[in-house]
Each structure stands twice: as C-alpha cells, then as structure tokens.
C-alpha cells in the first residue's frame, strides 16, 4: 500500500552547463529509474492513438503501392473520398494531442521527483485526468497549427508538397520552441492554459537558444529511433534472418508504434526536465528554494 501514496524524497535540483543535453540525459535517467510507472501510464494514454495509427497503416498499405505519389491528395482522385481520408488527417493531430497528455502525466512524475516528492503512477494519472480540460485548451492554444497545416499539406498538389513541408518544418521549429515549456509550467506552477502559454513564451525568450536546441535534438533522437525501427524488418528480410512474406509493412507499423511507446515518454520527461533547467539557469530556482527554506516563503 505504501507504493500507492506519495512519499518524500531528496530534492534533485542541480544546474547543467548544457541544458538541452542535460535535460535529455536526466529525463532518460528518470525513465530508467521509474520505467514501469512511466511506460505503463504513458501506454494507457497512448492506446487510442496507437490503435488509430495501426489502422491507418493497414489502410495505407492496402490502398497504395510504392509507385504512388509521396502524399495522396485529400479526398482526391488518388485516395477517393471517404472516412479513411478524414481519419488520416485526424490521426496526425490526435497523436499530437495525446502526446500533450503524456507530457502532463510525465511532468507530474518528474517535477515531483525533482522537488522532493515521489509521485506514484496512480496519482500522476489522476491529476492528469483532472486537468484534462485545461490540457485540451492548452493544446488548442499552442498546437492549433498542427491540424491546419496538415490539412493544407494533404489537400495540396504533389508539386507543392515539398515546399509546404519545408514551410511547415520551419514554422513548427519556432512554434515548438516558444510553447515547449507550456505543459510543465501548467503542472509545476498550477496555472491555467492561457497563463501557461504566456509563461512558456517568457521562459523560452529567456533561453531561446537552449530551448531551440532541445527541440532539434529531441526531434533528431525520436526520428532516428523510429526510422531505425521501421527499417529493421526490411533489413532482417534482406539478411535472410527471417521472412515476413507480404506482412513486412504490418511488422514495420507495429515496430514503429512500439517505438512510440518508448520515445514519447522519454521526450515528455526530458521536456519537463528542460523546464527545470531553464528555471534554474534563468531564474535561480535553486537559490529561491534554499532561501524559502531558510527564511520562509515570501507571499
């Protein structure tokens, strides 16, 4: 029963010379230390998104071959018009929203650990569910561009796709940088969606370079891991180690979703750690806590 309630633990606040790298490193360390709680809790939240992704994988490989265009036109002649096209668009932004929920769950665990309270999986899940409306509003405020841009891209002509994806990537880099710390700020400071968005913007301005570097590193790490898993099945077939027959695409889809179960919690923990790193570096959070402990908090 003791595992079901929070317990005190030593505070683990310390500064890092390289906040972006330090956030990924310490986020990964906490993932190892709390592997069961983080993975099980994240998996529960991610199940709907993973199921939708697997379904879209089946639809995509069932209806298209390797000679088709890079991206089908939305409700166009290549794809036809139907529920599959709408679902493909919904899957992209739904995954983005569910990832934000995982971020709130992971922030509960990491921030509790850093500030001296071991938050159990049950409590973190309960707090995340209580904050579901606020997280939803925060996602709308900070990620409105995800459904808009994806709709524009899948509705465009094939010749325009490359340029639109480049514009999307540039916009996403800056938007993600300025909204990176919104979820940890909401959880750590117990503020609303609009206040969290403003707080994230202010913190990102204080350490813009470090926040952008974190976004780039996290994207590269996640992409490399998922691409590596996606190419594992074809490599096994080429080497003759195992044969999947006509189900190679399905094995690829399953492997990628397994990778999502590992990558999303890792990046979520690292993002919460990045919030701590920025506050330590830019606001002297450790000094504030020590002063409050010595002289009492100023109200």
pLDDT in tens, 21-69: 999 999 999 999 999 999 999 999 999 888 887 777 666 655 544 444 4
Query: How many domains, the chain?
Result: 1
Which band of pLDDT confidence, cut at 50, 70 and 90, is reported for residue 163?
Answer: confident
pLDDT of residue 132: 95
Q: Report the pLDDT averaged over residues 145-154.
A: 83
Per-residue pLDDT tens over the stretch 229-275: 888 878 877 777 777 777 777 788 788 888 899 999 999 999 999 99
Helix (H), strand (E), coil (C) string for the chain: CHHHCCEECCCCCCCCCCHHHHHHHHHHHHHHHCHHHHHHHHHHHHHHHHHHHHHHHHHHHHHCCCCCCCCCCCCCCCCCCCHHHHHHHHHHHHHHHHHHHHHHHHHHHHHHHHCCEECCHHHHHHHHHHCHHHHHHHHHHHHCHHHHHHHHHHHCCHHHHHHHHHHHHHHHHHHHHHHCCHHHHHHHHCCCHHHHHHHHHHHHHHCHHHHHHHHHHHHHHHHHHHHHHHCHHHHHHHCCCCCCHHHHHHHHHHHHHHHHHHHHHHHHHHHHHHHHHHHHHHHCHHHHHHHHHHHCCCC
* C-alpha angle 267-268-274 in degrees, rounded to nearest 5: 85
Q: Is the pLDDT of residue 176 over 50?
A: yes
Q: Report the pLDDT averaged over residues 223-227.
A: 91
pLDDT of residue 12: 57
215, 173 in Cβ contact below 8 A? yes
Which band of pLDDT confidence, cut at 50, 70 and 90, is reported for residue 8?
Answer: low
pLDDT of residue 16: 63
Which band of pLDDT confidence, cut at 50, 70 and 90, is reported for residue 6?
Answer: low
In a domain, 23, yes or no: yes
pLDDT above 70 covers a percentage of the chain that reads 78
Which band of pLDDT confidence, cut at 50, 70 and 90, is reported for residue 151?
Answer: confident
Q: Is the pLDDT of residue 115 over 60?
A: yes
In a domain, 30, yes or no: yes
Through-space distance between the first and last CA atoms of the chain, rounded to whole angstroms: 36
33: how many CB neighbours lie within 10 A of its CB? 10
In a domain, 251, yes or no: yes
Per-residue pLDDT tens over the stretch 186-198: 999 999 999 999 9
Check residues 186 and 95 and name the one with the higher pLDDT.
186
In a domain, 10, yes or no: no
pLDDT of residue 274: 95
Give dist(CA 266, CA 278) in Å, integer.
18
Q: Is the pLDDT of residue 153 over 80?
A: no
Give dist(CA 121, CA 103) in Å, integer.
14
In a domain, 40, yes or no: yes
The boundaries of the domain holding residue 84 are: 16-293
Residue 289 tokens, joined: 């806590």
In a domain, 78, yes or no: yes
In a domain, 286, yes or no: yes
In a domain, 1, yes or no: no
Check residues 7 and 141 and name the one with the higher pLDDT.
141
- For the chain, the C-alpha Rg in angstroms (whole number) is 21
pTM of the model: 0.83
Give dist(CA 137, CA 264) in Å, integer.
20
pLDDT of residue 232: 84
* C-alpha angle 274-196-279 in degrees, rounded to nearest 5: 35
216: how many CB neighbours lie within 10 A of its CB? 14
């Amino acid at each position: 029963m003791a595992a079901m309630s929070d317990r005190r633990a030593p505070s683990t606040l310390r500064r890092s010379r390289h906040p972006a790298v330090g956030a990924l490193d310490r986020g990964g360390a906490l993932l190892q230390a709390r592997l069961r709680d983080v993975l099980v809790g994240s998996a529960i939240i991610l199940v709907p998104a993973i199921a939708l992704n697997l379904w879209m994988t089946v639809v995509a490989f069932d209806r298209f071959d390797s000679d088709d265009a890079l991206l089908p036109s939305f409700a166009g002649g290549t794809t036809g018009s139907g529920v599959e096209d709408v679902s493909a668009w919904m899957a992209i932004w739904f995954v983005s929203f569910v990832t934000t929920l995982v971020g709130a769950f992971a922030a509960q665990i990491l921030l509790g650990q850093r500030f001296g309270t071991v938050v159990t999986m049950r409590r973190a899940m309960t707090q995340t569910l209580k904050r579901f409306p606020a997280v939803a509003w925060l996602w709308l405020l900070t990620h409105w561009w995800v459904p808009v841009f994806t709709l524009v891209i899948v509705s465009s002509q094939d010749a325009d796709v490359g340029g639109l994806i480049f514009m999307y990537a540039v916009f996403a880099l800056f938007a993600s940088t300025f909204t990176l710390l919104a979820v940890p700020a909401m959880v750590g400071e117990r503020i609303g969606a609009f206040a969290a968005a403003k707080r994230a913007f202010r913190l990102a301005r204080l350490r813009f370079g470090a926040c952008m570097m974190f976004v780039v590193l996290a994207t590269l790490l996640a992409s490399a891991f998922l691409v590596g898993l996606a190419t594992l099945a074809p490599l096994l077939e080429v080497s003759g180690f195992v044969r999947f027959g006509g189900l190679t695409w399905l094995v690829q889809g399953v492997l990628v979703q397994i990778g999502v179960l590992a990558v999303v919690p890792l990046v979520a923990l690292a993002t919460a750690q990045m919030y701590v790193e920025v506050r330590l570096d830019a606001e002297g959070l450790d000094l504030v806590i020590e002063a409050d402990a010595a002289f009492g908090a100023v109200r």
